[in-house]
Amino acid sequence: GLFRGKGDKMKSSELFQRAKKVMPGGVNSPVRAFGAVGGDPVFIKRGFGSRVWDEDGNEYIDYVLSWGPLILGHSHPAVVEALKRQAELGTSFGACTELEVLLAEKIREAVPSMEVVRMVNSGTEATMSAIRLARGYTGRNLIVKFAGCYHGHSDSLLIRAGSGLITYGIPDSGGVPEDTARLTLVARYNDVDMLEEIFEEKGPDIAAVIVEPVAGNMGVVPPEEDFLRALRELPRKYGALLIFDEVITGFRVSYSGAQGYYGIEPDLTTLGKIIGGGLPVGVYGGREDIMRCVSPDGPVYQAGTLSGNPLAMAAGLTTLEVLSKNPGLYDELDRRAERLCSGFKEVMEDAGIPVTVNRVCSMMTVFFTGEKVRNYDTAVKSDTRLYAVFFREMLKQGVYLPPAQFEAFFLSAAHSDEDIKKTIEAAWNAAKNLKKN
């Protein structure tokens, strides 16, 4: 196999036992606990390029990449160098720095709709703040989101609909007040009729529609053309704002994000992940007249002790610099991702296991269902038990996939053709064992 280690997981398992005593589920973010795939999670010690190594010395080809940020791979030398340089100058000032200006300018250059931006520390903060701003700007309270889209864990956005017509928010999470949940309307992804109905009924009270322009959090689901058009036209017609949550897609599907890729301009955009180069960052930004409502220019308050943190700015800026200097990089990622996906499809077809592979550039999901996946309802038809077996078979062979069916696989510029080949070979072996299940 691929393993350069012993293949055992002793130290990871010991650490997990200790972790469970001092952290909920032994983790700081739920999916990490491997609850959906079984077995103890792997504790990572080190990463370089396309690879990570666990505490037991096992080596893996990594398709999680910290859930998307590491488009250049782990420990990219230029990013590491920038971090070392900045650490020696100071790690946080809580005051203005040149780095913040440079990153804001770089973002605006790449994503022209982001005329004015505010840096925060996570994707959650970015979307939470964008929602507050949309409400402050429009003087309206309702927001529309789509079932299966994830926008971080702020109260208003932790709402998901069951299947059905216009759904008033039902809290998915404990601790979300019903009065808050009621203000979130949930629509179906890629369903123009439902979005129209919501606007016909509630249009004048809707502050914003927030959407992942390519969904990544029900597994990858690309937007259909009429849906994209409706997303732009309907809010505009009713005086509501369109918020593109590009925390995953920003600098991932193209250098100008999904909005550049599809040619649709939202009013507000949220970014995270890649713009932090592996450090904690989020950004929200957009049309100047809207952004001028943010304090201290306007009455919508939002602040942060570590916002615009110099280390995070340095890592993000360096990442964007490397990306912007390599215009061929996105085509290369696209080509490798296509190879990987056709490999997965072929292997599963040969084994007689029905799968649907969705992909936009270097984000992709292998759904264990033969049906087309175009929204939450069709995504959840996947056989999560089969995914779990697939995941474990791949892990055993040194391939680290997302530990849940409804997540995206990511490629980095550090993944080589050889990595792809090895991964398809591993999938071939895994498929044989899937058949026995």
Q: Is 124 in the site for ligand PMP (CB under 6 A)?
A: yes
For the segment 62-91, give every residue that binds ligand PMP (CB under 6 A): 67
The strand pairing partners of 118, in sequence order, are: 284
Which of the residues 54, 56, 62, 245 is marked catalytic?
A: 245
CB of 28 to ligand PMP, least distance (A): 11
Q: How far is the CB of 245 from ligand PMP (least distance, A)?
A: 5
Residues 194-253 that bind ligand PMP (CB under 6 A): 212, 216-217, 245, 247-248
Q: Which is nearer to ligand PMP, 284 or 391 (CB)?
A: 284
Minimum CB separation of residue 238 from ligand PMP in Å reads 24
**For residues 280 and 28, is the Cβ–Cβ distance under 8 A?**
no
In angstroms, the Cα distances linking 150 to 127, 132, 220 are: 10, 17, 12
- Write the interaction track for ligand PMP spanning residues 370-409; mark x where CB under 6 A is met and - where it is not: ----------------------------------------
Compute the distance between CA of residue 431 and CA of residue 419 in angstroms, rounded to an integer: 18
Q: What's the closest the beta carbon of residue 153 comes to ligand PMP, in angstroms? A: 7
Find the part of the chain contacting ligand PMP (CB under 6 A) among 32-40, 112-120, 122-130, 133-141: 122-130
Going by C-alpha positions, the residue among 248, 222, 219, 224 that lies closest to residue 382 is: 219
What residue has token string 């952290």? 23
Binder of ligand PMP out of 12, 50, 113, 122 (CB under 6 A):
122
Are 281 and 119 in contact by the 8 Å Cβ rule? The answer is yes
Q: How far is the CB of 253 from ligand PMP (least distance, A)?
A: 12
Q: Verify binding: residue 269, ligand PMP, rule CB under 6 A.
A: no
Tell me whether residue 258 or residue 395 sits nearer to ligand PMP (CB atom).
258
Residue 273 designated active-site? yes
262 is catalytic: no
Contact, 402 vs 63, CB < 8 A? yes
Q: Which residue is nearest to ligand PMP (CB)?
A: 123
Residues in the interface with ligand PMP (CB under 6 A) total 15
**What b/e readout covers 306-324, taking b as 16+ CB neighbours within 10 angstroms?**
bbbbbbbbbbbbbbbbbbe
Least distance from C-beta 342 to ligand PMP, angstroms?
26
123 in contact with ligand PMP (CB under 6 A): yes
282-286 sheet: strands from edge to edge: 116-120, 282-286, 268-271, 241-245, 206-211, 142-146, 184-187, 167-168
Query: What is the rounded CA–CA span in Å between residue 130 and residue 207?
Result: 11
| Among 60, 150, 387, 406, interactor with ligand PMP by CB under 6 A | 150
Comparing C-alpha atoms, which of 172, 166, 204 is closest to residue 186? 166
369 within 8 A of 381, measured Cβ to Cβ = yes
297 catalytic residue (yes or no): no
148 counts as binding ligand PMP under rule CB under 6 A = no
Closer by beta carbon to ligand PMP, 347 or else 380: 380
Q: How far, in Å, CA of 39 to CA of 350, rounded? A: 28
Pairing mode of beta strands 241-245, 268-271: parallel
Closest to ligand PMP by CB, 28 or 295:
28
Q: Which amino acid is at 62?
A: D
Residues that bind ligand PMP (CB under 6 A): 67, 122-124, 127, 150-152, 212, 216-217, 245, 247-248, 272
* Catalytic residue set: 150, 245, 273
